[in-house]
Amino acid sequence: MKKIFLLALITCFYFTGLMAQTAKYVVIVSVDGFRPDFYMDKSWPAPNMQQMMDRGVYAEGVRGIFPTVTYPSHTTIITGAMPARHGIVYNTPFDMKGLSGRWVKDAKEIKVQTLWEAAHQAGLKTASVSWPVTVGAQIDYNIPETWSETTPGDRRGATSQDATPKGLFEEVQENATGHLQANDLDLHYLSMNENLGRMTAYLILKYKPNLVTVHLPCTDEFEHMEGREGEGVRRAVASADRAIGDIMEALLKAGIKDSTALIITGDHGFVDTHSSLAPNVWLAQQGLIGVTPDRGNWKAAFHSSGGSAFLHLKDPKDEKTLQQVKKMLSELPYSQQKLFRIIDRSVMDKMGSDPEAALALTGVQGISFNNNADGPILKPAKGGAHGYFPDFKEIRTGFVATGAGLNMGTVFPEIGLEDIAPLVAKLLGIELKQAEGIVYPGMLMSTKK
């Protein structure tokens, strides 16, 4: 009897320890194309991020997922799972008819539990602004990243339609941003970051959600156009930092700053590019893909994802075609072979990449990929790209966090993108099923026993 009592007591302590909530509120800000140098190198115009680094916990780099692209990465941030498990393996799924394809926006396509769902199950309130793959998501106050395929330049109609509860997009315009014009939610204008920051600040003040997620997209756009060090990138970093400042002030005004953990992270780093490679041209030379718009009677195709390209076989069991492609790649002249390396299936399994791809190519720095099956094998490109295999410094994203439950003055040389969601779950005292990441004890404030 005594033993049972003791066991019950230990179990009780264990679970109290495991599920103890150390932050009543958590805010995750994802800056698209966020790089550690934005906070570690004080020459970037980002005082909020840099002061957070001085006061909190940060990583010198966050290893991303493969491919290092926006939608799969954001889904890893919010689930702690790798793409093969969470189901969002590309921005645009492989599709022989379109190749450029549609973006995955519907939350139903996520196959594992999200932080929002876990929070909801624990009776906590959630809000989200402009987060990828959130149309129809279980979020109490949700303004998803969405646009109509017919009018991609004007996001207002789709946002109004997909925001929940109904009328939320109108509510934030009335109370936070003022009436929005089409170009106020356009990636090319930094006012988009500012408007998203104001919407988030409003939702915090008005509803005090326990978990808030927001995605600020403009930095990515300018890094694509200008490369890592462009003038526009500096302005975009300043605008993201300004939005973060608005969010910090909202936490202060709402009286919840001391009970909130604020996390700034991102989805991938960036690489400067000079040339774009078209590996489908090699497949066309082998007769494995047609050059007509419908690609003819194809057997194999590369699906480009920026800095990498994934090989798909029409018949996944077609070993003969796979061997033909491997042989062709091994026999290319060195002048072409040196532009990329092959990521084989066993490495992709470890990284949780698209289970349906037979292999992938990842570019050396400077090389990105396109889907063309005719024309030159290599054409000029400019600006920046991501999507590369995540094993070098420039492609890493960042992580800096401060506030309730978090340690101060700790530096991590590297964490994984999948480690963020378990940390958030731990801070909120909720259980996140299916997460593959781990919580580093040094991130958390030590509690007296």
- For Zn ion, the nearest residue by Cβ is 70
Stretch of residues binding Zn ion (CB under 5 A), selected from 27-35, 155-163, 176-184, 250-258: 27-35
- Contact between 432 and 421 (Cβ < 8 Å): yes
What's the rounded Cα separation, in Å, for the pair 371 and 369? 7
Q: Closest separation between CB of residue 414 and Zn ion, Å?
A: 19
Stretch of residues binding Zn ion (CB under 5 A), selected from 28-36, 57-65, 197-205, 355-363: 28-36
Binder to Zn ion among 32, 162, 354, 436 (CB under 5 A)? 32
Degrees to nearest 5, angle at CA 68 with 35 and 416: 70
* Total residue count of the chain as it appears in this document: 449
By rule CB under 5 A, what string of x and - marks binding of each residue 47-86 to Zn ion? -----------------------x----------------
Q: Closest separation between CB of residue 55 and Zn ion, Å?
A: 27
- Contact between 192 and 239 (Cβ < 8 Å): no
What six digits make up the tokens of 265?
A: 């992270």
Stretch of residues binding Zn ion (CB under 5 A), selected from 215-223, 225-233, 350-358, 437-445: 215-223
**419 touches Zn ion by CB under 5 A:** no
Residues 240-299 that bind Zn ion (CB under 5 A): 267
Q: Which is nearer to Zn ion, 74 or 156 (CB)?
A: 74
Q: Which is nearer to Zn ion, 386 or 426 (CB)?
A: 386
Q: Which is nearer to Zn ion, 164 or 362 (CB)?
A: 362
Question: How big is the site for Zn ion, counted in residues (CB under 5 A)?
Answer: 4
By rule CB under 5 A, what string of x and - marks binding of each residue 365-394 to Zn ion? ------------------------------
Q: Which is nearer to Zn ion, 140 or 220 (CB)?
A: 220
Stretch of residues binding Zn ion (CB under 5 A), selected from 12-20, 58-66, 217-225, 248-256: 217-225
Give backbone dihedrals phi and psi of 142, rounded to 5 degrees, phi first: -130, 120
What residues make contact with Zn ion under the rule CB under 5 A? 32, 70, 220, 267
